[in-house]
Chain A
Amino acid sequence: MNPIIEALNLSFRYSGEERWAIKSINLKIYPGEFVLITGPSGCGKTTLCRCFNGLIPHFYEGELKGILTVDGLNIAENKTCKLAQRVGMVFQNPENQLIMLSVEDEIAFGLENLNLPRDIIRERVDEVLSILGIEHLRHKFPYELSGGEQQKVAIAACLAMRPKILVLDEPTAHLDPLSSKVLFDTLSSIRKRLNLTIILVEHRLDMVASITDKVIVMDKGQIILQGRPREVFTNPIIKAIGIGVPKLILLYEDLLLNNLKLDFPPLNIDEAELLLRKLLSR
């Protein structure tokens, strides 16, 4: 299978800055993967996201080196408006991405930009409202919605354009834990239903550890670790660079230090329960 996103030695620095925001990034993301990107503040996660839909280098000026191909398109040669049909992007601040006076208009906005006929627009609006379970919000004014609802609308507005890839840059930063959990559950379910490739930037590793396929850890502009969640979270490097390791992994490691070995590092409560019961029965 060919990767849907491929970066070869990708580097970028914003114009007027000396240091490189991202340096020599090499990665391959395959269709259908759920990828988590994490790292301390300032590590380049947001910069990398901006590359995925062409905001870099077309909206953010600077020096781009290396190659990034997204769904066959080279980002250096394709503007965001073209990439937008293949890559949807959801931003941190729920409010500042909703610009219309009703949810329905918001979702239709992207489709109007693409000059799609009215019946297609209607079909797609109905479709995404239903997929995300927000039909009841159709005529609401974005300002009146909760943060969690606003993010759902943002996701719906992206999905209406039928992208293959969805990128979310810290979408839960302004949400409370319950709304965050709802958002992650939503992502899991739409990913399967729509066969999406999802790229999520997150700090709250506890909640997303078990739903992702691949974790990419960045620090100071570079990728320092890539792999499956269980391998990455138990790698001592991530503590060294100041990432908050999920509590269950800390428990796993603590037990290990006391000569108690669980079969594998648990990523969620259910796994942890299973493994501990096995341990106790021995």
Chain B
Amino acid sequence: MIIKLNYPVIVFEDVWFSYSDLEPILRGVNLRINEGEVIAILGENGAGKTTLIKHLNGLLKPTHGNVYIYGENTKNTSVAKLSKKVGIVFQNPDHQLFAETVEDEVSFALRNFNYPEHIISLRVEKILKMLDLWEYRKVSPFSLSGGERKRVAIASILSYDPSIIVMDEPTIGQDYAQKQKLSEIIRLLHIQGKTIIVVTHDIEFVCENFPKTIILSQGKVLAYDLTRNILTNFELLLKARLLPPQIPYLASRFDSIVSKNVLYVWEMRDELLRAIRR
């Protein structure tokens, strides 16, 4: 794992948010996220996860409190400027695909940010090859399968190389192989030093890919800790209306015999072997 200096690139300072005079969706969120961290945001539907990430690039501005990205208050700048540093991949690729070719689709953001054409072609080639989409570059994005369209959406954000990458529910409708591919991408991005934030409710996916997790419930941060600590704390998970992952849940049934901090299949096996040899 790459270690960088503790530089908070994302700061939420007592953030409250509500639409007009409706109930607040975010109720006093405080967060400091350092550069290079890979974090999952867990929470039930309606907890405020999507609202929270929309604050990262200024699509939404807090009703109270402040959000700072690389030290800059989001209230003082535009969505386009913030989007250069914070790339958000939204849940449904069909809500953004519009171009005639995959190439054009992936170049869209680069053109909006006024990159010169020769740089654009280089960047597009690089990202399409990284995501196994190079063969489809001249093809219409609409003719691709669901999983491929998802990758095009991701490519279109990664193409302009933002330092902070946010994904909203990237695993929905994906099969196991596609999720493995996603894990690979996250790993690659981490090696490049990106700060990665993924909103998901796929607990097993969180288990395998994220060292740290934030739990959001009813607009509040219930916990921001190592994934291991969070996913083995069933009271916390219950409070957030989440189901615990299978292996820790099984381990909890063997309270006295097996350590509480078991997350993975191999850890459970080791614990059982230890218990037997005693």
1/0 contact string of A58-73 vs chain B (CB within 8 Å): 0000000000000000
Bound: A250/B264 CA distance, A: 10
Q: Is the CB of A255 within 8 A of B269?
A: yes
B253 contacts which chain A residues (CB < 8 A)? 269, 273
Q: Is the CB of B204 within 8 A of A280?
A: no
Bound: A247/B250 CA distance, A: 11
Q: B59 at the A/B interface (Cβ < 8 Å)?
A: no
A176 contacts which chain B residues (CB < 8 A)? 44-45, 201
Which residue from B146, B180, B243, B249 sits with its C-beta under 8 Å from A41? B146
Closest CB of chain B to A131's CB: distance in Å? Answer: 24
Q: Is the CB of B177 within 8 A of A242?
A: yes
Grouping DSSP codes into helix (H, G, I), strand (E, B) and loop, the B interface class, with mixed when no group exceeds half, is: helix
Q: B77 at the A/B interface (Cβ < 8 Å)?
A: no
Known: A170-B173, A242-B176, A269-B253. A280 touches B275 (CB 8 A): yes
Known: A176-B201, A254-B265, A255-B269. A280 touches B276 (CB 8 A): yes
Q: Is the CB of B175 within 8 A of A247?
A: no
Q: Is the CB of B250 within 8 A of A269?
A: yes
Q: B192 at the A/B interface (Cβ < 8 Å)?
A: no
Q: A50 at the A/B interface (Cβ < 8 Å)?
A: no
Using a CB–CB cutoff of 8 Å, the interface residues on chain A facing chain B are 40-42, 92, 146-147, 170, 173-179, 181, 203, 206, 242-244, 246-248, 250-251, 254-255, 258, 260, 269, 272-273, 276, 279-280
Bound: A234/B147 CA distance, A: 27
Q: How many A-B residue pairs have CB under 8 A?
A: 91
Q: Interface residues of B, CB < 8 Å — how many?
A: 38
Q: Is the CB of A258 within 8 A of B273?
A: yes
Closest CB of chain A to B149's CB: distance in Å? Answer: 11
- Given A41-B145, A92-B173, A279-B272, 10 more pairs with CB closer than 8 A: A170-B173, A174-B172, A174-B173, A176-B44, A177-B203, A246-B246, A247-B245, A247-B265, A260-B272, A280-B254
B180 contacts which chain A residues (CB < 8 A)? 242
Q: Is the CB of A41 within 8 A of B175?
A: yes
Chain B residue at minimum C-beta to C-beta distance from A43 = B175
Bound: A73/B158 CA distance, A: 51
Bound: A145/B241 CA distance, A: 18
Q: B257 at the A/B interface (Cβ < 8 Å)?
A: yes
1/0 contact string of B229-259 vs chain A (CB within 8 Å): 0000000000001110111011001100100
Q: Is the CB of B201 within 8 A of A280?
A: no
User: What 7 pairs across the A-B complex have the smallest Cβ distances?
Assistant: A244-B176, A242-B177, A247-B246, A176-B201, A41-B175, A177-B243, A254-B269
28 contacts between A and B (CB under 8 A): A40-B175, A41-B175, A42-B145, A92-B173, A147-B45, A173-B173, A175-B45, A176-B201, A177-B203, A177-B243, A178-B44, A181-B243, A203-B175, A203-B176, A244-B176, A251-B250, A251-B265, A251-B268, A255-B269, A260-B272, A269-B249, A269-B250, A273-B253, A273-B254, A276-B250, A276-B254, A280-B257, A280-B272
